[in-house]
Amino acid sequence: MAERTLFSVSSSPHIRVREGADRVMRDVIIALIPALVGSYFWFGIRAIMLTSISCIAALATEIALLLWRGRKVDGAAVNSALITGVLLTFCVSPRVPWWLVIVGAVVGLGVGKHVFGGLGYNIFNPALVGRAFLMSAYPVAMTTWQIPHQAVDAVSGPTPLAHMKIAAYKHVPDLWHLALGDVGGCIGETSAILLLVGAAYLLVRKVITWHVPVTFLASLAIFAWVFGRTRNDAGGTVIRLFEGVGPLNLGAIPIHLLAGGAILGAFYMATDYVTSPMSPRGMIIFGVGCGLLTGVIRIFGGYPEGVSYAILLMNMTVPLIDRATMPRLFGARALR
C-alpha cells in the first residue's frame, strides 16, 4: 500500500440528530419574539431599546466571563445569554432607566450563572437572579409602571395585580384586556396571548414539555380559586373561599393566570433546562411548587407578584427533587 488514507474514528453512535443546543436555544428566542413585538405596541420603542441594551450587556458579560475563565465561546453560550437578556427585560418595568438592565444582566450572568460554573451548572435562573437583585437594590424604579399607549413619564399606574392587592377591584381591567396585554406591567409579561403563541411553538418543536407549565398554572389556578379574593359589589377585602363571579364560578382564577408573570414564568422561566428537574415526575413536583408558592406570595405575602420568587425558591429544591425522582431502571422489578 503506497498511500494510507486517514479515517476519522470515534466511539459509536456515528449518527445523531441535527439539532444542537444552539438551535434549541434559538427556538426559545424565536418564541419570545411575538411578545417582544407586543411590548413595542403597548410601551413604545423604549421597550425595544431596553431589550436591546439588556441583550448586548448579557452577551458582553457572557463572552467576557467565558474568555476570562478560559472557556469556549460557542453558539449555545451566546444564545443562552441572549435568552437571559430578553427574559430580564421582560420582567422589568418599561420605565426603568437604561443602565438598570445593564446592572441586572451583569449580576444575573455573573452572580447567577458564572459563579456556579457557567452554562449548565447554575442553580438559579440567571434572569430571575438579575431581577431579584434589581428589586431589592432599586425598588422604586422597579415598581413604577406605565399605562400602555401613554408617553413615558406622562402617566404611571399600578399593575392589575397591585390593584387586586390593595383591593381596588374596580380598577382591575377586564379579562380581554388582560389576555391581550393592554395593561400596566413588565415589558414582556402583559400579553398572555402573544406569550402563548410562542409557548405553542416551543411545545410543537418539543423544546419544552407540558409538565412544568401545566402543573404550574393548574396549581396556581386551584390555589386562586380556593383562596383568591374576588371582585365584589362592596369592594370588600374579605377572602372568599370557593366563591366567584359569573356562571362558571371561576373566582379569581382568570385574573391570577392572565395578569402578572404567570404565563411568562410558567412557559419560559420555570422550564429552563438547567434550573428545573430532569424527570417528568420531578417536573410535575417542581411545577406544582412554583404554582403554590406564587399563589401564597400573591395572596398572603407582601408583594403583589410572586412568580419570580416562587421560581427562585423552587430552583433551590431541584437537586433534592432530582434525587427523589430518579428514573426507574428497565427491569428493576426483576432485580428482586
Partner 1 sequence: MLATFRGGIHPASHKELTDERALDAAVPPELVRIPLLQHIGASSRPLVKKGDAVTLGQTIAEPGGFVSVPQHASVSGTVKAIKEFPHASGRHVTAIEIANDGEDTPADELEPILDWQNASSEALRNRVRDAGLVGLGGAAFPTHVKLTPPEEKPIHTVVLNGAECEPYLTCDYRLMLEAPDAILVGAQIIHRCVGARRIVIGIEDNKPRAIEIMRAKAAGLDDVEVVRLPTKYPQGSELQLMKTALGVELPKSKLPMEAGVVVQNVGTALAIYEAVVAARPLVERALTITGAAVGSPCNLRVRIGTLCGDLIEQAGGMNGATGRVILGGPMTGVALDTTDVPVMKGTSGIMLIPRSALVDYELNPCIRCSRCEAHCPARLATARIGLAVELDRIEIAERLHVLECIECGCCSYVCPARRPMTQLMRVGKSKVLRERARRRAHG
Residues that bind partner 1 (CB under 8 A): 4-17, 19-21, 23-24, 74, 76, 80, 117-121, 273-274, 276, 278-280, 322, 326-335
Distance, in Å, from the CA atom of 168 to the CA atom of 210, rounded to the nearest integer, reads 34
Q: Which is nearer to partner 1, 74 or 174 (CB)?
A: 74
DSSP state of 221: H
Least CB distance to partner 1 at residue 70 (A): 14
Exposure letters 222-255 (e unless 16+ CB within 10 A, then b): ebbbebbbbbeeeeeeeeeeeebeeeeebbbbbb
CB 68 within 8 A of CB 34: no
Q: Which H helix or E strand runs over 286?
A: helix 280-300
CB 127 within 8 A of CB 274: no
Q: Which is nearer to partner 1, 209 or 249 (CB)?
A: 209
Distance, in Å, from the CA atom of 293 to the CA atom of 310, rounded to the nearest integer, reads 5
Q: What share of the chain is helix, strand, coil (3-state, %, to 5)?
A: 60, 0, 40
Q: Which is nearer to partner 1, 39 or 271 (CB)?
A: 271
Residue recorded with cell 432530582 = 322
Q: Which is nearer to partner 1, 72 or 170 (CB)?
A: 72
Q: Which is nearer to partner 1, 120 or 139 (CB)?
A: 120
Least CB distance to partner 1 at residue 113 (A): 11
Q: Where are the alpha helices (DSSP H) in 205-279?
A: 211-227, 253-258, 262-264
Q: Which is nearer to partner 1, 12 or 136 (CB)?
A: 12
Least CB distance to partner 1 at residue 312 (A): 17
Distance, in Å, from the CA atom of 46 to the CA atom of 52, rounded to the nearest integer, reads 10
66 CB neighbour count, 10 Å cutoff: 19
Least CB distance to partner 1 at residue 286 (A): 12
Least CB distance to partner 1 at residue 110 (A): 17
- How far is residue 138 CA from its own chain's centroid? 20
Least CB distance to partner 1 at residue 27 (A): 11
Distance, in Å, from the CA atom of 248 to the CA atom of 131, rounded to the nearest integer, reads 36
Q: Which is nearer to partner 1, 22 or 243 (CB)?
A: 22
Least CB distance to partner 1 at residue 66 (A): 11
